[in-house]
Every structure is written in C-alpha cells, then in structure tokens.
Structure 1
Amino acid sequence: MKICVVALGKIGLPLAVQFASKGHTVIGADVSEPTVRKVNAGEVPFPGEADLDVKLKEAVSAGLLTATTDTAAAVAESEAVVVVVPLFVDGDGKPDFGWMESATRDIARGLRPGTLVSYETTLPVGTTRNRWAPLLQEGSGLVAGEDFHLVFSPERVLTGRVFADLRKYPKLVGGVNEASAERGVSFYEAVLDFDERADLSRGNGVWDLGNAEAAELAKLAETTYRDVNIGLANQFARFADTVGIDVNLVIDACNTQPYSHIHRPGIAVGGHCIPVYPRLYLWNDPTATVVRAAREANADMPSYAVDLLAAAVGDLSGRSVLVLGAAYRGGVKETAFSGVFPTVEELKRRGATPYVSDPMYTADELVAHGLPAWGGEAVDSAIVQADHAEYRTLTPADLPGVEVVVDGRRVTDPERLGSIRRVVIGG
C-alpha cells in the first residue's frame, strides 16, 4: 500500500516507521519544515523513543519513507491516511480543534475515492462522525462510508515504547459504517505486528468495536479510569498522612486481592493523555461527578506537596527551594501538563524562591519553558517532581545545603540521602 501519516510527532513518526517496516510505502506529512528535513535525512527530530533511530534510518534508506509539508499531495497519492494531529484543551476543558480542522481540510483536498481515513488522535465521542466526516465531504465532494472509508482507531501506546506497545495491545477500530470498519480492520492487520501476548480472541489483534463512537469512548474510558484511580490513591495517601500510615504498604496489601488494582499516589499527573482525556470525557458528559472530583484531586497534588514541605520546614517565605524534574515523567523529555509548573507557582505564592533542575534539559531550555533554571544557587530544601533514574542515587553531596527533600515520586533512596530528611506523599 501507499500510506500517508499526517503529523510526524512522537506517535505519528513511529507509526510511519512501523508501516514502512512491513514493506509499505509511507509519506509523512507535517507542517514543520525542520521536522520534514530531519525525517528525510533519516534523523529523529526528538529524543527518547526506543529503536526509532535505527528503524527510521532503515526505512528512509530503503526508500519506503519520505516526508513532505504538502499534506493534500501526499493524501492524493495514498490508499490510506492515518491522522495523528494533536488536539488540545483549554483551562476549562474545552477542546481546541483548530489544528485538526486545518489538517482535515488539507486531507479533503487530496482525498480520492476508495481511500481509508483513520483518525488516531483521542477525540470526544461523536467527533469522527459529526465533525470530521462533514469536513471531509465538504472539501472532497465524496461521501463518507460510500465513496471513501472513515474510521476511528485510537492510539494506545506510551511514548518511549511505541513499537513494543503496538505489538502488545489489541488495536481498536470503529467505523462510520460496516464497510469502513472492515477496511480499517484489514488495514491494521496489514501494517501491525502482534506478539504472543496480544489478545487474539477477536481476530489477529484488531478489534472491531461496532462503530466509531464506541472506539472513541474506549480510549476516553481507559485513560479516565487511570485518572480516577490515581485520584483515589491520592486521597488515600492524604488521609494516611494524617494518621501515620504508609499508604504504599496498604496498597501493596490491597492489590494482592485479584479485584483490587489501586494505582500509586504522586505529586502530579502529567503528559498529553491522563490530564487531558478526562476533560474530553467531561465535555461529553458534564454530569460525571466522579471524573470531575478525581481530576480536581489530582490537580491539587502539587499544592499538597508544598504543604508537606511547609509542615517540615515551617514558613516558606524567603526560602530557596530546588524542584527536581521539569519533565512530566522520568526519562521522557516532555513537559506537557507537568507538575513542575503548578509546583513552581505555588512556591512563589508562598514567598519562596524556586529553582528547577532536570538532567534532560539545559538551563536555556528550562528558561524557554518559563522555568527558573538552577545554576548552583544556595537552596535549603528540595521537591522531587519527576521520577528520573538519576534521582535514585542522590546524596547530600548532590544537594549541598538541603535539609529536607519532599519526594513526590518515592524515587530517592533514604539511605543515600543520609542526613537529609526525606518526606513522601502518603507516609
């Protein structure tokens, strides 16, 4: 097949490389000229994705993967189009469809009869049928489900391990009609690999969920579940702090029972997925009080971590505090919805002077993100915000002058910290 992947970000580029690895000819379309240049040179435009550098070079060298900024032209040459353009939400949880609408109009201009269009970006329920189908029809003059096939098939991978996750988890597909779904299933069967751990009970690791709306809800439900679960764990942890209980021991005990799957508490829930998709669900279902309460509980955790610091050292006014970790997750160079931002703001609000350090970011990069980079200034306390592997071996020599560390991720070693007092969320 000839396949067009629209948006060569941290999900789109590995997908394009995966499709090429199966012998298909892939054109990656992206609005960023620097990204297109790097991909055409076989260079990865972002760090941290396992095996992507080698696989990308192989695909480009074999002539199976090229990139362009002309989406319409790439679509016109393709039998299948996979869309992974980002969708954002504002502070009130309202989705901003701007980038996706622009990309969809470009796709429509190049759309040809018989083409499959698959949206993988997580969407509110009903978006594929009620928003993208009309736009594609308006711009192409073709009818969804009749002249071209249209499906929603959510990405279910984690950055850093995309290729492994593609093999491991069933691929979900929902079409705007039965013919679209059949085409979507056959497409993904032809471009993905499934290892022995994949659930093959419904056909080669690709599951037809019946319609696009079911596939949209499946992605929202699985990610919202995680946010709600973490919110519950965080509330357990805050109560445990009031009664002197180690909540992790409690969670370990609970999870020996097969019906208990309590997640772990922590300083923040970050990234493009878990903080965002519950808001998309709430946009569909504003009466979901459980979802709303969990999102609010998780959003309050950076402030609670600062509460723990204040309880340990007293008034924060005039103190200098080092926040360790700008990334939202250890080992991933990404700050999307990272807890570093509310942590820094809360420290400032209480009169402290915050600094930020992260082994994956230079001082200039931190400043570009609006963060006060640490240049070795004297600090008296620290808050661990990201679970970078480097923090497992922290010692007093790494944190001169620090008396207290609030470890929001339970990543530090109390024995290595020695004389530094270690405070964790949930005792």
Structure 2
Amino acid sequence: MKICVVALGKIGLPLAVQFAAKGHEVIGADVSERVVSLVNDGAVPFPGETDLDVKLKEAVAAGLLSATTDTTAAVAQSEAVVVVVPLFVDADGVPDFGWMDSATRAIAAGLRPGTLVSYETTLPVGTTRSRWAPMLQEGSGLTAGRDFSLVFSPERVLTGRVFADLRRYPKLVGGVDEASAAHGVRFYEAVLDFDDRPDLDKPNGVWDLGSAEASELAKLAETTYRDVNIGLANQFARFADTVGVDVTKVIEACNTQPYSHIHSPGIAVGGHCIPIYPRMYLWNDPAATVVRAAREANAAMPDYAVQLLADAYGDLTGANVLVLGAAYRGGVKETAFSGVFPTVEALRARGANAFVSDPMYTAEELTAHGLPPHQGEDVSAAIIQADHAEYRNLGPAELPGVRVLVDGRRVTDPARWAGTDRVVIGG
C-alpha cells in the first residue's frame, strides 16, 4: 500500500517506520520543515525512542519512507491516511481543535475515492462522526462510508517503547459504518505485528469495537482509569501520612488480592495523556464527579509535596531548594505537563529560591522551558520530581548541605540518607 502518516511526532514517526518495515510505501507529512528534512536524511528529530534511529535509517535507505510538508499532495498519492496530529485542552478542559482542523482540511483537499482515513489522536466521544466526517466530506465532495472509509483507532503506546507496545496490545478500531470498520481492520492487520505469546491476558490482533464512538470511549476510559486509580492511591498516601503508616506496604499487601490493582502515589501525574484525557472525558460527561475529584487530587500533589518539605524544614523563605527532574517521568526527555512546573511555583509561593536540574537537560534547555537551572548554587533542601535512574544511588555526598530531602518518587535508598531528614509521600 501507499500510506500517508500526518504528523511525524513521537507517535507518528514510529508508526510511519513500522508501516514501512512491513514493506509499504509511506509518506510522512508534517508542518515542520526541520522535521521533514531530518526524516528525509534518516535522522531522528527527537531522542529516546528505542530502535527508532536504526529502523528509520533502514526505511529511508530502502526508499520506503519519505517526508513532506505538503499534506494534500501526500494524501492524493495514498490509499490510507493515518492522522496523529496533537490535540490539547485548555485550563477549563475545552479541546483546542485548531491543528487538527487544519490538518483535516488539508487531507480533504487530497482525498480520493476508496481511501481509508484513520484518526489515532485521542478525541472526545463523537468527534470522528460529528466533526471529521462533515469536514472531510465538505472539502472532498466525497461521502464517508460510501466513497471513502473513516475510522477511529486510538494509539495505545508509551513513548520510549512504541514498537514493543504496538506488538503487545490489541489494536482497537471503530468505524462510522461497518464497511469502514472492515477496511480499518484489514489495514491494521497488514501494517502491524502482534505478539501471540501464551502469557498475554487477551488474544491479540485487531478488534472492531462496533463504532467510532465505542473506540473513542475506550481510549478515554483506559487513560481516565489510570488517573482515577492514581488519585485514589494519592488519597490513601495522604491519609497514611496522618496516621504514621507506610502506604507502599499497604498497597503491596492489597495487591496480592486478585481484585485489587492500586497504583503508586507520587508527586505528580504528567505527560500528554493522563493529565489531559480525563478533562477531555469531562467535556463529554461533566457530571462525572469521580473523574473530576481524581483529577483535582492529582493536580494538588506538587503543592502537597512542597508542604511536606516545609513541615520538615521549617520556614522556606529565602531557602535554596533544588528540584531534581524536569521531565514528567524518568528516562524520557519530555516536559509536557510535568510536575516540575507546579513544584517550582509552589516553592516560590512559600518564598523559596527554586533551582532545577535534570540529567537529560542542559542549563540552556531548562531556561528555554522557563525553569531556573541549578548552576552550583548552595542548596539546603531538595525535592525529587522525576524517577530518573540516576537518582537511585543519590546520597548526601552528591547533595552537600541538603538538610531535608523530599523523595516524591521513592527512588532513593533510605539507608544512604541515614542522618538526613528524608521524607516520602505516604509514610
């Protein structure tokens, strides 16, 4: 097949490479001339994705992957179009469709009869049918379900391990009609590889969920579940702090029972997914009080971690405090909705001088993100915000002068901090 992947970001580019590895001819479309140039040179435009550098070079060298800024022209040459353009929500949870609207109009201008269009970007329920179908029809003069196929098929991968996750998890598809769904199933069966190991909980492959709406809800539900679960764990942790209980031992004990799957508490929930998709769900279902409460509970954790520091340290006015970790999670160079921002804000609100360090970021990069880099200043307290592997062996020798450490991710060894006040969330 000839396939167009629209948006060559941290999900779109690995998808394009995966499709090319199956022998298909792929054109990647992106608005960034820099990204397009790098991809055409076989160079990865972002770090951290396992095997992407090797697989990208192979695909480009084989003539199976190229990139362009002309989305309409790329679509006009393609039998299938996969859309992975980012969608965000504002502070009130209202989706900003600007980028996706623009991409959809460009797709419509090049759409031909018989083409499959698959949206993989997480969407509010009903968007594929009520927003994209009319827009594609208006711009192309074609009818969804009759002249072209239209499906929603959510990405279900984690950056850093996209290729492994593509193999492991069932691929979900929902069409605007049965024919579109069948087309989507055939397409994904032809472009993906699936594990068939006997230890998998469910049979792998492509699952037709029956409608675009069901597929949209499945993506929102699985990510919202994680936010709610983490919110519950954080509530348990905060209560454990008041009664002197180690919540990790409690959670470990609970999870020996097969019906309990409590997640881990922590200083923040970040990234493109978990902080965003529950708010997208709430846009559809504003009466979902459980979802709203969990989102609020998780958003409050950076301030709670700083309060724990103040309780142990005393007045933070004028104190130099080092925040360890700008990334939203360990080992990933990404600050999207990272807990570092509200942590720094909470420290400043208490009069502290906040500094940030991260093994994956230079001082210049931190400054570009609006974060104050640590450049040798003496510090008397520290907060671990990201669970980088480099922090596992951290001790007082590496942080001279630190009187109080708040380990927001429980990555440090308590034995190494004997004699220093080490505080963790949840006892």
Give the TM interval when normalised to the shorter protein.
Answer: over 0.9
Does residue 190 (structure 1) correspond to residue 190 (structure 2)? The answer is: yes
The equivalences for 1:134-153 within 5 A come to 134-153=134-153
How far off its partner does 1:283 sit?
0.1
Aligned partners of 1:89, 1:415: CA distance in 2, in Å?
A: 43
What per-residue deviation string (whole Å, max 9, x for no partner) do you get for residues 73-100 of structure 1? 0000000000000001101111000000
Aligned partners of 1:418, 1:391: CA distance in 2, in Å?
A: 16
The equivalences for 1:76-225 within 5 A come to 76-197=76-197, 205-225=205-225
Please state whether the residue corresponding to 2:392 is helix, strand or coil.
Answer: helix
Give the letter for the 1:249 counterpart.
K
What residue in structure 2 maps to residue 407 of structure 1? 407
What residue in structure 2 maps to residue 416 of structure 1? 416
Aligned partners of 1:343, 1:212: CA distance in 2, in Å?
A: 39
Aligned partners of 1:201, 1:239: CA distance in 2, in Å?
A: 36
Please state whether the residue corresponding to 1:239 is helix, strand or coil.
Answer: helix
Q: Count residues in correspondence.
A: 426
How far off its partner does 1:418 sit?
4.0
What residue in structure 2 maps to residue 230 of structure 1? 230
How far off its partner does 1:397 sit?
2.1
Unaligned runs of at least 5 residues, structure 2: none
How far off its partner does 1:381 sit?
0.2
Q: Identity of counterpart residues, as a percentage?
A: 82
**C-alpha spacing 1:395/1:28, structure 2 compared with 1 (3 Å):** same
Indicate if the aligned counterparts of 1:246 and 1:426 stay in contact, CA closer than 8 A: yes
Give the letter for the 2:67 counterpart.
A
What residue in structure 2 maps to residue 278 of structure 1? 278
What per-residue deviation string (whole Å, max 9, x for no partner) do you get for residues 325-383 of structure 1? 00000000000000000000010011000000000000000000000110010110000
How far off its partner does 1:415 sit?
2.0
Does residue 393 (structure 1) correspond to residue 393 (structure 2)? The answer is: yes
Moved more, 239-248 or 188-197: 188-197
Give the letter for the 1:8 counterpart.
L
What residue in structure 2 maps to residue 14 of structure 1? 14
What residue in structure 2 maps to residue 426 of structure 1? 426
Give the letter for the 1:320 counterpart.
N
Please state whether the residue corresponding to 1:269 is helix, strand or coil.
Answer: coil
Aligned partners of 2:297, 2:194: CA distance in 1, in Å?
A: 37
Aligned partners of 2:418, 2:219: CA distance in 1, in Å?
A: 44
Give the letter for the 1:262 counterpart.
I
How far off its partner does 1:201 sit?
6.7
Aligned partners of 1:417, 1:335: CA distance in 2, in Å?
A: 28
Aligned partners of 1:286, 1:403: CA distance in 2, in Å?
A: 45
How far off its partner does 1:197 sit?
3.6
How far off its partner does 1:157 sit?
0.2
What per-residue deviation string (whole Å, max 9, x for no partner) do you get for residues 19-45 of structure 1? 000000000000000000000000000
Indicate if the aligned counterparts of 1:396 and 1:419 stay in contact, CA closer than 8 A: no
Aligned partners of 2:172, 2:127: CA distance in 1, in Å?
A: 16
Aligned partners of 1:397, 1:55: CA distance in 2, in Å?
A: 41
Aligned partners of 2:321, 2:156: CA distance in 1, in Å?
A: 37
RMSD, aligned α-carbons: 1.0
The equivalences for 1:219-368 within 5 A come to 219-368=219-368
Give the letter for the 1:95 counterpart.
P
How far off its partner does 1:70 sit?
0.3
Q: TM-score with structure 2 length normalisation? A: 0.99
Indicate if the aligned counterparts of 1:327 and 1:358 stay in contact, CA closer than 8 A: yes
Aligned partners of 1:296, 1:170: CA distance in 2, in Å?
A: 31
Please state whether the residue corresponding to 1:67 is helix, strand or coil.
Answer: strand
Indicate if the aligned counterparts of 1:387 and 1:409 stay in contact, CA closer than 8 A: yes
**C-alpha spacing 1:9/1:425, structure 2 compared with 1 (3 Å):** same
What per-residue deviation string (whole Å, max 9, x for no partner) do you get for residues 231-252 of structure 1? 0000000000000000000000
How far off its partner does 1:16 sit?
0.2
Please state whether the residue corresponding to 1:397 is helix, strand or coil.
Answer: helix
How far off its partner does 1:318 sit?
1.1
Please state whether the residue corresponding to 1:390 is helix, strand or coil.
Answer: helix
Does residue 58 (structure 1) correspond to residue 58 (structure 2)? The answer is: yes
How far off its partner does 1:196 sit?
1.7
Does residue 36 (structure 1) correspond to residue 36 (structure 2)? The answer is: yes
Give the letter for the 1:401 counterpart.
G
What residue in structure 2 maps to residue 72 of structure 1? 72
Aligned partners of 2:213, 2:114: CA distance in 1, in Å?
A: 22
Give the letter for the 2:82 counterpart.
V
Does residue 2 (structure 1) correspond to residue 6 (structure 2)? The answer is: no
What per-residue deviation string (whole Å, max 9, x for no partner) do you get for residues 173-206 of structure 1? 000000000000000000000012486977x610
How far off its partner does 1:413 sit?
1.2
Give the letter for the 2:90 counterpart.
D
Indicate if the aligned counterparts of 1:17 and 1:55 stay in contact, CA closer than 8 A: yes
Aligned partners of 2:56, 2:190: CA distance in 1, in Å?
A: 19
Please state whether the residue corresponding to 1:393 is helix, strand or coil.
Answer: coil
